[in-house]
Structure formats: C-alpha cells, structure tokens
Structure 1
C-alpha cells in the first residue's frame, strides 16, 4: 500500500495529530522505564548541503493509524528540511517482509525502513543494510537512549537497526463486553489451564451474539508468546546459536491449540480469515487477546471502540514469568541508498525528536529516546501503557532472543504451520516435525 507516491499528493491528504494531556501521570516516569538520564537535542556535526534536492523512500509495517502518525511526523521533517522529500509506503507485517525480501534480492530496498529483531541478522549479516555506528554522535544522537536498546540492534558488534521504542506483551481485556456477557474478569495471577477455561467460558456466553463473541484468538500461533512460555519452562528459543528446546516442548505448546479449537474457546480460523485484516479485538468479536502493550491505541480505535485493560499473560509460577522487554520498531538504512547521510538524519529525527514523541505517544511502545519521551503529554491510553510497563518492570525475568540469522524465517514458518494446527489439517506432532526441519535449514 502506497501512502505517498508524490509529495504534493501526500501532503494534501495528511492531517496532523495533536495528543492532549489525559493523565496526571508524570512523563518523568519514562526516564525510569527507559533507563536514561535524559539529554538535550544535539546538532549533528556533519554538514549536509541544504540546497541538494534529495528524495528518500521510507517504508514501514502497520495500520492506517500508524500511517497517519508517520505522515504527520514527515510533514514536520520536510518543513524543517525543504530540500528533502520523503516518499512512503506501508503494509501489514507479512506483506511488508515479502516486499522487503524481494527488494533485498534486487538491491532496491527503501532508503529507510522499519526493521524487526527477527530479521536483523539476515539483513545486517548479508550486507543489505549499513552499520549505523559511523553516524552515531554525528548525525544520529544516541545519548538519550538506553545503551541496552542500542546494543539490541547489533550483529557481530555493529549496529544495523536503531530501536525507536520498547514494549512487553500483555493480555488485553474488553471489560464492558465481558460484563455484558456475564463473565468476570480474572484477577491476579492466571495459570495457563485457568486461562483456557476462561476463554471457553467467554465463548459459551457469547455464542448467541450476532456475530458470535469468542474468548480470544488461538494464542498458540503467537511466536513471541511461545518464547515467553519457553522461558517459563526454564528454556529459551535460541541457545548458543541453536534451538534451546526440544520437539516435545513445541508439541506440548501446539497441543493446547487442539483443545482450544475443539472446545470452541477461540475464534475459528475460518472466521479469522473472513475478517480480512480487521482486528478481532477492535471489532468486538473476541473479548481478549494477547499482544504488545503499545497496541492498546490501535485496538481501542477499532470499529467497536472497546474499553480495554492490560494485565500480564498467563504464567504458572509466580517467580518465573518468562516476560522480557523487546526492542521495538527498529529503523535501518539500506546499503543501496544513494543518500545514507540524509537517511541517518531522518532516523535521528524519527527516534529523538520530541514532536515525533508527541505524535506517536505510546503507540510505538515506550520511546527509546528520552528526548522523544519529553515531548509527550500523556493521553489516557498512554498513561495506561506506562502504568502497565511500570507494573511489570520487576517481573521481567526472561530475555529477548539474540539476533541470529534465520530468526525471521523461524517466525514466518511458526505462524504458517501453527495456522495448519488451528485448522486441524495437521497434528501437533506433525507440525513440530515440519517446523524443526525448517528451523535446521534456517539456522544453518
């Protein structure tokens, strides 16, 4: 989907976002969450010719809400840099990476594009993106970013992606809908078995609705939630460059899918396909879902405008949650870019500028840069995300997987194969055999 093929057309249809204060929560709390001491804006030492006409292509994955925010930010950047035109495109996550992989093969990647931890090693290790280290302290200011988030973008000691945010997984509840169905929201720790029973109860209560309301979607398809579950078992996705768990562990995980679908506890795959990209939680057809906490605005702005709350995903042992902080929405520069310095300046703007922070709020996650965080006047939803992040900070006992080559393929095949399990066309044992075979090839 192209949102801005020509500057004049894009500017005509973009509108600015104005985030207003909706919470008494002090923005200073972000400094605790990001681990930054703060720092003012820094003028880059490098000199770029202000008269050189430059066009940069910028691509990201996301929905229309994210697109509007990016376009509003680009308006500001182009006004300050009238010689730079930003052409944009965006798509859903799967289609986005299909397009990037095709472009990588032909060395025609966008100058700047969103990067995910799952694909970092593949793009960095094969020379598709340039190291950002050369621009640090010159065109890209990292003084106000937690060093751990900078390091998260490294492959073989070179940084290929810079995080604009961080986030954690959460369970999102539609409280008013559950009240309408006569189902109580669980309080405190919820075990996996209790969670499955709860989903079944909601689906039974919502069966008479038109359309039917289900407890949730099949969470066994969620690659990052599987990693949290592994952590709860004392295991890890990757250990010393190899898989850190056995086939039997994956069978156990996907076996939950069989029960969930047989009992009608989750939305059937057929109905999910019919929604054609519409969020089931945002449309009110599921009462809960597990997703990144920063997706709260996205779901809340859905067709049903649900009132959502955030709690921790299920865990059986209160001393072992498996939860971790994931660096989010990294930005990279294509090796084929003819204007890498201008691209670096654009990345610095997207990551650090306080006006960009104000536009996005918490929709990208907690800002990685304190200077971006300083620009936010928290909305009610922003405050809700911050409160959740603060609540779970001392419970993050897991670790995000290292950026290894093949991680993106592991995620893609995991999602595809788990869908077959949900449809009932393959058994958990057969699915685990298929995935491990794919994983061995991906990891080399």
Structure 2
C-alpha cells in the first residue's frame, strides 16, 4: 500500500484530460450539464482506484451509514480508464452521480461547464476543513470557489532505489539538495556501477512535475492564471533542456531510447528495469503498492542553485470529492465529504489509499500502522509541506490545468526527445514548441 498523487500522475492524468475533451459535446447534449441528476432515491457515489481503495471506501461508507441511516448510498467504482467517459455519458443523459471522486487535473473544466456544485456555503458549517491549508484547498478551487475537497497532500518528489544506491557505496542525498547535487550523484552512480546504471531518468520533457518546480524556482508558472497561455519563458525552458542535455552527455541520465520506451509504460521506467536509481514522481510507488522490489526512499525535487532562486516545490490535493450541481442531495454529499475529512474511522480505513492524509491530525492517526516505505513517503511529504508553508518566496499553488494541457505535456515530452535524438537543436525546438503551444491554448 502506498500513494501516488496528483494532478500530476501523468500516466493517468494525461489520458484523463484527453477524455475530458468530449466534455463539451456531452454537456451540449443535456443543455449545459444541469439536468435532473440521479433519479434514484439513493445517493449515488462513484470513484476509481485499486481494489484496496474500493475495499477501504466501502468499509468507511458502511460506518457512515450506521451513523446516518437515512442516507442510503449506492456505490459505483472502477479503474481510471473509462471513468470519465462514463461520467460524461451520465451527464449527457441527465443521470449524473450525486457525489464523485474528481481528478484535480479536470476539476476546472467541469466546474466551468457548470457540472460541479460550489461548496463554499457549507464550509465552517456542515463541512469542517480545520487543518486543511489554503495551499491544499487551492487544488479544488476554481475562479475563487471551492468545488472539491482534497483527499491528501500531493507533492512532487523523486523516488530512489536506496538499496542499490547503498550497494554502490553512495549515501542518500540531503533533502536540501540542488540540481547540481542531482547531477553530481547521478554521475557517481554511472561511474560506480561501471557504466551499467545511470543516475536519474531523463526529466527533460516527460516529467512535468520536475519542470514545473524548476520554472517556479525562476518565479514562473506552467500556465497563466487564465490558462490561455504558458506562464514560463523561452529562456527558462532553454536552460532546462540544456541541463538535461548535459546530464545525458555525462551519462547521468539514460539515452533517449530508454526514455522513449518508458513513456506511458511504468513497467519500462528506468528504475523499474534497473537502468537508473532515481526517478521523478511517476507512479513507481503508488496507491496499488510498488512495482519494484527495491527498498525505496523519497526526496524533494531539487532546489534552484542560483542567486534569487525561489521555493519551487508546492503541495497539491491528491484526488477530490465533488458534488454535482444537478444533484438534489448536495447537502448529504457534503456530510460524506466531512466524514472523510475529519472522522477518525474513515481516516484509519483509508490509510494512504487516497494519498497522504491532508491534516496533521489525520497523519498522526495512521502513522503507527504504516509500512517502513509508507513512513518514509509520509515523512518526505510532511517535510516538503512544512518547507513550503514556511517559505516566504513561494508562488501561490498552481491553477488547475486548462483545456489542452494534455497536448502541451505531450508536446514537451516529444520536444525533449527530438533534442535528445539529435533531430533538432535546442534553439530550433524552442521556437517550434512555443508556436505549437500557442496554437493549442489559443485554439
């Protein structure tokens, strides 16, 4: 059991954003998505996840219904693939669920289409969000209104094969490390392994999380607040690609063939196949457990090592619980949200299956029952969250990604590969990237 967060579990989120591309047509079929909602007398709730997450939700909801016998819950759950396809179909047919698990990458699109119910009028009353930071709540906030309650702390981190690192006689870097430190230890890994293992997988394009942190260290965001353009400059992206070109040249990162093969396929991730010891937050260790037998550990994304560098790391909200605007049972849905946010039974039942719990109280309740790897994961997330909260120079939390974000992320990946394979110079690829990105966001 573990967790993988975010807005940014790219290997599922990008596909989710593509699915959301059908949202506009689905809504037009039902007059804007504000139809009758579920016609059942039961409250309908849907979510996606692993079998462990399904079992935990069902156990917690059984406890809720014992205390709230008048609220009958009809549960529907599945894997992530097809989840939003079905949701869109239900919206179009006027049978949207009352309560759903929502992806932070999609909340803005559904909120702006009128699908989700704003929750602000319930906060401090039926919905107790004591202990939730403003930064965390930003993950469910769109245009100043709250449309989803975050399930946990999501952070951008590196997952490390610690056992293999120690076998090479190397120590885990300090959490206050920099990009220069990452290059140094990655180069050492290659040398100490006799050229058999690279240090870190190539973050130049496929790792949105890493670049977003890097841009924020430069005082820039990935997208503008209105989502109509990119928030970072050509100079920042050039610096980023030059860093990774140097990493590949130094054999600190693997060649592009390995990077390309791992795109959207975690089983071919460089750490999983033994070709690297560090990987960016990619799902190697997730809600379904680890897909490698190695002893893992975790580190924050490195800090900027230049004068005036800002705190680039940030906290996001895992998955969300949201109510649909068409529902006649929003108040009852809010009771369930409050239950998962604050009830000790629910917190203990869910453990890390919706991410690292969002409050200090909740994290304290589950700490004693965690595996060693889970404890290391939660400690790192706590460390990042505390550092971000204390930073005076951190930017506000990122806005939810706009329509077309999935295309931008894929463009970033493919652009980095073009440079890595030597098909394009960095300068030529920069011009092409910004031209295409402008067309995607402005189209």
The residue that corresponds to 1:309 in the other structure is 297
Equivalence map 1:67-146=2 (5 Å): 67-77=54-64, 83-91=72-80, 109-137=96-124, 139-146=126-133
Distance in 1 of aligned mates of 2:320 and 2:287 = 22
Pick closer, same or farther for the CA change 1:68–1:190 going to 2, 3 Å.
same
Q: Would you say the 8 A contact 1:141–1:352 is kept in 2?
A: yes
Question: Could you say what the CA RMSD is over the residues aligned between the two structures, in angstroms?
Answer: 4.0
Q: Secondary structure at the match of 1:243?
A: coil
Q: Does 1:409 align with 2:404?
A: yes
Pick closer, same or farther for the CA change 1:244–1:70 going to 2, 3 Å.
same
Superposition deviation, residue 275 in structure 1:
4.6
The residue that corresponds to 1:234 in the other structure is 219
Q: Secondary structure at the match of 1:86?
A: strand
Pick closer, same or farther for the CA change 1:369–1:282 going to 2, 3 Å.
same
Distance in 1 of aligned mates of 2:67 and 2:51 = 25
Q: Secondary structure at the match of 1:59?
A: strand
Tell me the matched-pair count.
384
Q: Would you say the 8 A contact 2:412–2:433 is kept in 1?
A: no
Distance in 2 of aligned mates of 1:85 and 1:100 = 15
The residue that corresponds to 2:17 in the other structure is none
Distance in 2 of aligned mates of 1:70 and 1:201 = 45
Q: Secondary structure at the match of 1:129?
A: coil
Q: Secondary structure at the match of 2:366?
A: coil
Superposition deviation, residue 229 in structure 1:
0.5
The residue that corresponds to 2:394 in the other structure is 398
Q: Does 1:437 align with 2:436?
A: yes
**1:219-258 deviation per Cα after TM superposition (whole angstroms, max 9, x unaligned):** 2322232221012223233455353322332233234445
**Which segments of 5 or more consecutive residues in structure 1 lack a partner in the other structure?**
1-16, 18-51
The residue that corresponds to 1:290 in the other structure is 280
Pick closer, same or farther for the CA change 1:253–1:65 going to 2, 3 Å.
farther
Distance in 2 of aligned mates of 1:205 and 1:65 = 39
Q: Would you say the 8 A contact 1:413–1:435 is kept in 2?
A: no
Pick closer, same or farther for the CA change 1:151–1:228 going to 2, 3 Å.
closer
**1:346-380 deviation per Cα after TM superposition (whole angstroms, max 9, x unaligned):** 32222222222223334544423466446324324
**Which segments of 5 or more consecutive residues in structure 2 lack a partner in the other structure?**
2-39
**1:258-317 deviation per Cα after TM superposition (whole angstroms, max 9, x unaligned):** 55556662371344259565766467554212228xx79638942433322223322214
**1:315-359 deviation per Cα after TM superposition (whole angstroms, max 9, x unaligned):** 214863322222332221223445433333332222222222223
Distance in 2 of aligned mates of 1:365 and 1:236 = 24
Q: Would you say the 8 A contact 2:141–2:148 is kept in 1?
A: yes
